Structure 1
Amino acid sequence: MTMLLVTGAGGFVGAALLDRLRADAKHYRAISRTARPGIEAMGAIDGSTDWSAALQDVDTVIHLAARVHVMRDRAADPLEEFRTTNVAGTLGLARQAAAAGVRRMIFVSSIKVNGEETRPGRPFLADDQPDPQDAYGISKWEAEQELHDLARMTGIEIVVVRPVLVYGPGVGGNFIRIVEWVRRGYPLPLAMVRNQRSFVYVGNLVDLIMTCIDHPAAANETFLASDGADMSTPQLVRVLARHMNRNVKLLPVPIGLLRLLARVAGQKDAAVRLTDSLQVDIAKNKEILGWSPRFSLDQGMQDTVRDAVTKRK
């Protein structure tokens, strides 16, 4: 009997992963910061966290727990705060897992390891030279390097998965904010945006993780996660509007002016994400794992909208 340990099980991706594990009748132990039905409490994660009880009889660790990226980080030293959990905490778990005889650890990292934006026709590849630009991305890249060093020393297999923006039923943050703008029928100053962005439906991310649990070719590899189809921000808004049966009005505001207004309003980073491109190429997933997204981008958007609208009723 294979036992899986899932950290960060109380989060958005963790909840979807547990649903899939239950559907597939997998044996797992779920860990989160705080206890809830079916999930054990671990508390804060750092380099001194004792994982001995959680790792008992575990074959594979799926490490979702992290200090996540926030738009306005108020920590005095954000990088050190990220390193405490995302580097020291991850390495501490991996070292104890290796000592306990765990076969494989799947580390869910971030596309921010690759960088913040892509040029037209130049999507990120899994094996590109990393270029993290912020504290969160740097901490994830440092953790990846530490894990691969540990794999070379101990033999534990490391699989790194770097998702782009994850969406789906229950998503929060900037994505659900856009959904709400469309639902309310706000005119949006996005008609002149000509970017291209990749997204990943949570069901596709979970399916990729599930593939990486046992696939022999996944060992010590890095994979990017997306739906395999990209769209511009105006296209995203129109797709959301279509699934909500809403009319949406896009205003032709020059990109420079849009960014200036956003900067004045303290929303510079949000404007960049709405106007810049970030595309990934997931051909490696097909070539090495035989994996392609189970759900189309349109299916994922439809499920997300249906969930959001239902919750508003």
Structure 2
Amino acid sequence: MNITLTGSSGFAGTNLSNYLKGFDIQTLSLRYQPNQKIQLAHTEAIVHLAGKAHDLKNVSQPEDYYQANFELTKQLYDAFLKSDATKFIFISSVKAVADGVSGTLTEDEKPNPQTHYGKSKRMAEEYIQAQHLSEGKKYYILRPCMIHGPGNKGNLNLLYQLVKKGIPYPLAAFDNRRSFLSVENLCFVIKELLEQDIPSGTYNIADDDSLSTTELVMLIAETLQQKPRLWNIPAPLINTLAKAGDYLKLPLNSEKLQKLTENYCVSNQKIKEALGKDLPITARDGLRRTIRSFEES
């Protein structure tokens, strides 16, 4: 199969290129330009990974998100509709639906994104869903949760460094649950969508199980063959300290505490039923592989 891949130099794109053995992959480097006309030739499917990720430092301008995640996707999807390609896979995000989850996030949840990142992804979803599809064409909007794997240097690496240095984890009193996504499971889903005849639609992508941050700390320590150091400081005291941090500019404030202790569980039932297959790697095994990659780097 001939496929066109955007975002091939990124974390997910590099892993996907290595995963899709036997596919003829054409990489397409794109940036948004007004009135840009994208030409697609000799391709059967487009996998659109390129976009602007969530900026944890809050230094990006709002228009950066809308240009990279909405306007560029719109241009590429228009090119797909005019081409001979039959499948379009767009990597969106669970943040296109919700920033926080009280129960378990499913595809039935009414989208209410709060950030420019989430809103721009949602606008791209809506555009794709609103266009008429010719017979034989299909689209897939994938909403992954937090992706991790070898080569990823995100928040998991920061937690790994804390455990490796023997620094106690002070938030063990909080019993949160969070979904993760191994990049191998993401690549598996994309490959299956390329090869199978799956109905068009929107699909959440997550590993089967969710873990608490405390369980994650314990898993890191186990992989490092260390004893986990957990401080069970009462939650009300931590909340008080975080509120003080809002005013005193301390390392721990209310926003950071929420990120560390919030619940964000994502259901993958719909995609598993559509594929008729289980995901190849468990949540814990995927996390172990990521943790071991930190040791090797």
**TM-score, normalized by length of structure 1?**
0.87
Q: Percent identity?
A: 26
- Work out the CA distance in 2 between the residues paired with 1:94 and 1:47: 15
User: Partner residue of 1:229?
Assistant: 209
Give the number of equivalent residue pairs: 290
Return closer, same or farther for 1:127/1:211 CA change in 2, 3 Å cut-off: farther
User: Partner residue of 1:45?
Assistant: 32
Return closer, same or farther for 1:201/1:286 CA change in 2, 3 Å cut-off: same
User: Partner residue of 2:192?
Assistant: 211
User: 1:288 aligned to 250, 274, 281, which one?
Assistant: 274
Q: Deviations over 1:63-95 (max 9, x none)?
A: 0000110112223x42x2211111110000110
User: Partner residue of 1:28?
Assistant: 25
Which amino acid in the other structure matches residue 56 of structure 2? M
User: Partner residue of 1:14?
Assistant: 13
* Equivalence map 1:291-310=2 (5 Å): 291-310=277-296
Preserved contact between residue 6 and residue 64 of structure 1 (Cα < 8 Å): yes
Displacement of 1:109 in angstroms is 0.4
SS in 1 for 2:105: coil
Which amino acid in the other structure matches residue 113 of structure 1? A
- Work out the CA distance in 1 between the residues paired with 2:36 and 2:241: 45
Which amino acid in the other structure matches residue 69 of structure 2? N
Displacement of 1:124 in angstroms is 0.5
User: 1:132 aligned to 113, 120, 124, which one?
Assistant: 113
Displacement of 1:292 in angstroms is 2.1
Q: Deviations over 1:256-275 (max 9, x none)?
A: 13633664336654432210
SS in 1 for 2:160: helix
Which amino acid in the other structure matches residue 109 of structure 1? S
User: 1:94 aligned to 68, 77, 95, which one?
Assistant: 77
- Work out the CA distance in 1 between the residues paired with 2:255 and 2:43: 40
In structure 2, runs of 5+ residues without a counterpart are none
In structure 1, runs of 5+ residues without a counterpart are 33-41
Return closer, same or farther for 1:149/1:19 CA change in 2, 3 Å cut-off: same
**Does residue 186 of structure 2 align to residue 188 of structure 1?**
no
Return closer, same or farther for 1:204/1:153 CA change in 2, 3 Å cut-off: closer
Preserved contact between residue 272 and residue 279 of structure 2 (Cα < 8 Å): no
Which amino acid in the other structure matches residue 55 of structure 2? V
- Work out the CA distance in 1 between the residues paired with 2:241 and 2:79: 49
Q: Deviations over 1:204-259 (max 9, x none)?
A: 0111111111322232x111111110111100110111011122212223241363
Return closer, same or farther for 1:105/1:193 CA change in 2, 3 Å cut-off: same
SS in 2 for 1:169: coil
- Work out the CA distance in 1 between the residues paired with 2:256 and 2:280: 29
**Does residue 158 of structure 2 align to residue 172 of structure 1?**
no
- Work out the CA distance in 1 between the residues paired with 2:33 and 2:72: 4
- For the aligned residue pairs, the C-alpha RMSD in angstroms reads 1.8
- Work out the CA distance in 2 between the residues paired with 1:96 and 1:229: 38
- Work out the CA distance in 2 between the residues paired with 1:265 and 1:168: 31
Preserved contact between residue 47 and residue 90 of structure 1 (Cα < 8 Å): no
Q: Deviations over 1:6-63 (max 9, x none)?
A: 1001111111100101xx311111234xxxxxxxxx4x234544431xx211110000
User: Partner residue of 1:5?
Assistant: 4
- Work out the CA distance in 2 between the residues paired with 1:168 and 1:180: 16
Return closer, same or farther for 1:27/1:211 CA change in 2, 3 Å cut-off: same
Displacement of 1:297 in angstroms is 1.3
- Work out the CA distance in 1 between the residues paired with 2:183 and 2:242: 30
- Work out the CA distance in 1 between the residues paired with 2:293 and 2:216: 17
SS in 2 for 1:132: coil
- Work out the CA distance in 2 between the residues paired with 1:90 and 1:211: 22
Identify which range, 124-133 or 258-267, moves more after superposition: 258-267
User: 1:104 aligned to 72, 80, 87, which one?
Assistant: 87
User: 2:258 aligned to 259, 265, 272, which one?
Assistant: 272
